[in-house]
């Protein structure tokens, strides 16, 4: 062992001990007669002191140490004259008597500080250096603790961690599979799993009862900002359960994780139906850290007086508490914001109380004061509030208002990253209409069970069928999705049929699970949490995942550190019975 202690553990009570430390030179300061070196490792920073009078050779050597040199230093722990109260080792320093350079370092391409001067690209290329910075290091260490908290809870509840295969069969549904040519089976391919969905269901058929895995999944999707081609999920499945059992079990898991990582407990995790989420928040993953619900403004505005409102399919308002005193400039900014192409509205209306008790509105000339008062009272606005109104196509306005609500939440600082408001969204629709392909596709996945009472609509009105499907949402981010599965072969075939899969296709793609359902499949259901995003939210309060992954890919799916993907040698392709066609 190159050290007796780490750089984070020496305290007052070690004074007088002779110790050996090893680590990286964070910085060194030459103060004439004395040279100070901050030595860093994963555990902390300890100050080394070199005295020109007593150890001139050592001091000369210390002066040559560059940033990020790896050194080993032996010396006596002494009390520090000017203490540093910001670090736990700040009361002591090491009077070095032996110094050894274990490795040199070039000058790093960016500073190893909390606020670095390195841009994103440079940090990605030198990821191994970026990982030395404390915020990034803390993320990765935090992720370790989140993973162990997940396992602690699930192990204590009798879940079994069971590994499922990575080289499986391609069954493209929704996202594209990554595929792997088989050398031993010319013309055939494995696929990498988009999730272990069918395997965890087979494990339930096998009787394992409670399964989990913290597992890598891969999807060859078109990349968007901060989406990774490989990601990790906490994958869980249970037998002989109903939806309520799963919601309770995983509310417990969320509580256990938050308790161990942030010392937060949620007395109760509220639930909302999908329909209500859309009605009150305009989307299926509402951020409930703040109220500001969507208000149906049709009845109060459509009075045959103002054509913009009268002809609109929907008129929706929010009451932005705390924005009552917004200037015209601020209001204009918000109007410009909703007119951006990403939102795409033609304009925004607004209203508020004036000091004299009358109502001021951007559209006041079209209505009587009594009508305006009736409107603003419908919005339950006080003098502190600003009512914002969007009108137009129902779907578009609702989506735009949902975005505007979040934007107002940001502007009014109602979205504190250290406040956590979890929520279950339940009763999702079974299918969603795929306008591109003109078909119905599963809203969750094709193994989700429909609500029994809605089976009557299956073929006539698929859009009316609700599913035993639920999402876990935290601060407006969908963190998990799950469902009670189909466990009956005939029901599964019926759903495949409703999705437009022929018997032949169903059997080619899912024959093994259809067959498994013939041999005593129990009722079962499960859930999968996005682990990267869960870590990001718990540890930092935001959903930007890249800095919670040790070696992430960039937005083009490239690992710029490895320079992958890359070309391979011709003989490799030949052995695999494939040819590149560029």
Ranges within 35-64 binding its own copies (CB under 8 A): 40-43
Q: Which has the closest alpha carbon to 549: 477, 112, 180, 559?
A: 559
Look at strands 160-161 and 210-218 and give their pairing: parallel
Q: Could you say which residues in the range 460-489 bind its own copies, by CB under 8 A?
A: 487-488
Among 31, 184, 370, 460, binds its own copies (CB under 8 A): 184
Helix (H) / strand (E) containing 244: helix 243-262
Residue nearer to its own copies on the CB measure, 133 or 285: 133
CB of 568: closest distance to its own copies in angstroms? 5
Quote the tokens at residue 191: 């696929």
Residue 203's φ and ψ, nearest 5 degrees, are -65, -30
Buried b (16+ CB within 10 A) or exposed e, 351-368: bbbeeeeebebbbeebbe
Q: Are 229 and 223 in contact (CB under 8 A)?
A: yes
Residue nearer to its own copies on the CB measure, 464 or 574: 574
Please enumerate in sequence order all residues whose Cβ is within 8 A of that of 437, keeping only pairs 6 or more positions apart, or say none. Answer: none
SS (H, E, C) 257-317: HHHHHHCCCCCCCCEEEHHHHHHHHCCCCCCCCCCCCCEECHHHHCCCCCHHHHCCCEEEE
Cα torsion 346, 347, 349, 350: sign: positive
3-state secondary structure of 385: strand
**CA separation for the pair 362, 113 (Å, rounded):** 50
Quote the tokens at residue 513: 């699970």
CB of 374: closest distance to its own copies in angstroms? 50
CB of 66: closest distance to its own copies in angstroms? 9
Q: Could you say which residues in the range 526-555 bind its own copies, by CB under 8 A?
A: 549-551, 553
Q: How many residues bind its own copies (CB under 8 A)?
A: 124
Q: Could you say which residues in the range 491-520 bind its own copies, by CB under 8 A?
A: 511-512, 515-520
Among 27, 80, 137, 451, binds its own copies (CB under 8 A): 137
Residue 174 lies near its own copies (rule: CB under 8 A): no
Residue nearer to its own copies on the CB measure, 141 or 394: 141
Which of the stretches 18-26, 54-62, 280-288, 452-460 binds its own copies when contact is defined by CB under 8 A? 18-26
Among 186, 270, 417, 500, binds its own copies (CB under 8 A): 186
Residue nearer to its own copies on the CB measure, 248 or 394: 248
Quote the tokens at residue 445: 């996945």
Residue 229 lies near its own copies (rule: CB under 8 A): yes
Residue 556 lies near its own copies (rule: CB under 8 A): yes
Among 18, 74, 111, 170, binds its own copies (CB under 8 A): 170
CB of 81: closest distance to its own copies in angstroms? 29
Residue nearer to its own copies on the CB measure, 296 or 505: 505
Residue nearer to its own copies on the CB measure, 460 or 582: 582
């Amino acid at each position: 062992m190159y050290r007796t202690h780490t750089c984070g553990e020496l305290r007052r009570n070690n004074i007088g001990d002779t110790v050996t430390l090893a680590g990286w030179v964070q910085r060194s300061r030459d103060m004439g007669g004395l040279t100070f070196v901050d030595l860093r490792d994963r555990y902390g920073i300890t100050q080394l002191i070199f005295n020109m009078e007593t150890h001139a050779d050592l001091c000369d050597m210390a002066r040559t140490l560059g940033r990020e040199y790896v050194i080993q230093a032996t010396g006596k722990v002494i009390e520090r004259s000017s203490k540093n109260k910001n670090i736990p080792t700040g009361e002591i320093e090491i009077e070095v008597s032996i110094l050894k350079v274990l490795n040199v370092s070039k000058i790093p391409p960016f500073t190893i500080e909390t606020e670095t001067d390195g841009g994103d690209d440079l940090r990605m290329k030198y990821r191994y250096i970026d990982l030395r910075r404390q915020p990034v290091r803390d993320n990765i260490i935090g992720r370790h603790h989140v993973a162990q908290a997940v396992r602690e809870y699930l192990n204590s509840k009798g879940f079994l961690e069971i590994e499922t295969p990575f080289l499986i069969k391609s069954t493209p549904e929704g996202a594209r599979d990554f595929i792997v040519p088989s050398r031993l089976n010319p013309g055939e391919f494995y696929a990498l799993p988009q999730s272990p969905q069918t395997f965890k269901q087979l494990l339930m058929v096998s009787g394992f009862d409670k399964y989990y895995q913290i597992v890598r999944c891969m999807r060859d999707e078109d990349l968007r900002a901060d989406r990774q081609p490989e990601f990790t999920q906490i994958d869980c499945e249970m037998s002989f359960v109903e939806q309520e059992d799963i919601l309770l079990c995983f509310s417990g898991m969320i509580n256990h994780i938050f308790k161990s990582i942030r010392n937060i407990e949620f007395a109760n995790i509220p639930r909302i139906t999908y329909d209500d989420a859309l009605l009150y928040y305009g989307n299926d993953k509402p951020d409930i850290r703040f109220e500001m619900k969507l208000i149906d403004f049709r009845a109060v505005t459509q009075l045959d007086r103002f054509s913009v409102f009268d002809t609109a399919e929907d008129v929706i308002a929010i009451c932005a508490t705390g924005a009552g005193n917004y200037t015209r400039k601020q209001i204009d900014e918000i109007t410009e914001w909703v007119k951006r192409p990403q939102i795409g509205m033609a304009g925004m209306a607004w209203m508020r109380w004036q000091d004299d008790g009358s109502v001021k509105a951007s559209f006041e000339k079209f209505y009587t004061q009594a009508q305006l008062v009736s409107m603003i009272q419908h919005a339950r606005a006080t003098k502190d509030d600003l009512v914002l109104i969007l009108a137009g196509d129902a779907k578009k306005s609702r989506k735009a208002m949902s975005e505007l609500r979040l934007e107002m939440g940001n502007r009014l600082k109602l979205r504190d990253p250290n406040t956590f408001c979890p929520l279950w969204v339940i009763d999702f629709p079974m299918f969603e209409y795929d306008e591109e392909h003109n078909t119905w596709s599963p809203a969750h996945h094709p193994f989700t069970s429909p609500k029994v009472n809605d089976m009557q609509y299956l073929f006539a009105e698929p859009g009316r069928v609700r599913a035993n499907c639920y999402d876990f949402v935290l601060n407006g981010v969908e963190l998990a999705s799950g469902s009670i599965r189909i466990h009956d072969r005939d029901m599964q075939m019926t759903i495949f049929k409703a999705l437009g899969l022929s018997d032949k296709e169903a059997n080619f793609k899912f024959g093994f699970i259809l067959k498994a359902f013939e041999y005593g499949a129990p009722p079962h259901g499960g859930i999968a949490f996005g682990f990267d995003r869960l870590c990001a939210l718990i540890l930092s309060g935001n959903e930007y995942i890249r800095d919670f992954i040790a070696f992430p890919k960039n937005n083009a799916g490239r690992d710029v550190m490895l320079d992958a993907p890359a070309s391979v040698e011709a003989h490799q392709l030949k052995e695999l019975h494939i040819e590149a066609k560029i």
